[in-house]
Amino acid sequence: MTNSNLISVFNGSIQNIQIQLVNARELHSFLESKYQYTDWIKTRIADYGFVQDEDYIIVTQRTNGRPRKEYHITLDMGKELAMVERNEKGRQVRKYFIEC
């Protein structure tokens, strides 16, 4: 896998400021965390003091089932989440985010 396709980085807006974002669900999957996604993201937000509408936004996606919350996080938040995983995947994706 090349660095150019590790995780999708896209342009978004937080408080009317254009910024690069990452889907936290995709990051969680790449990191191969042993924790369920919802528990992982909520715990990380609480433990590390991330702030909604500053470090991340929540986007509700409607599918055939019930709506699902997607956390779109800044690259800085993504770097920190990758770093605290303390594994090779975390180091790899952190370097990738730095290059973005």
Q: What is the pLDDT of residues 8-44, one digit of tens each?
A: 999 999 999 999 999 999 999 999 999 999 999 999 9
Q: What is the per-residue pLDDT across 71-91, written as a single tens digit (0 to 9) for each?
A: 999 999 999 999 999 899 989
| Residues in the chain, total | 100
Query: Taking the alpha carbons of 23, 25, 31, 37 in that order, is the dihedral positive or negative?
Result: positive
**pTM for this structure?**
0.88
Indicate if the pLDDT at residue 2 is higher than 60: no
* pLDDT value, residue 1: 42
How is 33-72 classified by DSSP, letter by letter? Answer: -SS-HHHHHHHHHHHHT--BTTTEEEEEE--SSS-EEEEE
* Cβ-based neighbour number of residue 28 at 10 Å: 20
* pLDDT value, residue 4: 59
